[in-house]
Amino acid sequence: MSTAMIFQQLAGGMLKSISIFCWTLLFSLPLGFLIAFGRMSKVKIFGRFRIIRGITKLYIDIMRGTPLMLQLMVVFYGPFFLWGADIGGFRYPAIIIAFSINYAAYFAEIYRSGIESMPKGQYEAAEVLGYTKAQTFIHIILPQVIKRVLPAVTNEMVTLVKDTSLAFSLAYMEMFTIAKQIAAKETTFVPFAVAAVFYFIFNWIVSTGMTKVEEKLNYYR
């Protein structure tokens, strides 16, 4: 197989890798905010137990403490073993669900650290000025939090680009899976080299784009 044909087949797989990346961000970024708020919840049950905080902390610990590959298999095969459901067409949705709930846990901790790093004086000043809690968070706290957590979010996005290759564990034909198949069939290392170039370019685009966003938000310069 010629290098051009290898390039063409891997390019098709790269589109699937990009779709995993985009859908994961679409769901995990907002879900991370909800989990972060739950993690910071002060609601008490029976005047003592902070049940929401406990549940979200357990969720984060499980997602961060177990391999993403294992989570992919649990999400995909779970419906079959639990309820005997037909999982024939569930492969791609299972990948998106597993990636989203995994990365939401990481984003939640990033958001939480950014929110809790804000000085309490800003909340007090906003209260004096007559802002409600919602107005304070949306107009004063949130813009600063976004600016602070952007480098950490960028780092997770770069990791996500590489983690899309884990979809091979469910035999999904993204780029890394295709590269493995071609390499095994043609007994050549060229597909892996081409895949490495694709991943590098994808990561470079993500990193450069996020750097531009950081520069736009760096209003102190």
Q: Mean pLDDT for the chain?
A: 89
User: Do the beta carbons of residue 151 and residue 113 sit within 8 Å?
Assistant: no
pLDDT at 130 over 90: no
- Residue 96's pLDDT is 96
Q: Would you place residue 58 in the very low, low, confident or very high pLDDT band (cuts 50, 70, 90)?
A: very high
User: Do the beta carbons of residue 68 and residue 163 sit within 8 Å?
Assistant: yes
Structural domain of 145: 3-217
The pLDDT of 17-35, averaged and rounded, is: 96
Q: Would you place residue 219 in the very low, low, confident or very high pLDDT band (cuts 50, 70, 90)?
A: low
Write the CATH number for 53: 1.10.3720.10
Rounded Cα gap, residues 58 and 83, in angstroms: 25
In the chain, how many domains are there?
1
pTM for this model (two decimals):
0.91
pLDDT tens digit sequence for 148-182: 899 999 999 999 999 999 999 998 989 999 999 89
The pLDDT of 66-88, averaged and rounded, is: 90
Rounded Cα gap, residues 57 and 108, in angstroms: 10
Rounded Cα gap, residues 20 and 59, in angstroms: 22
Residue 45, SS3 per DSSP:
strand
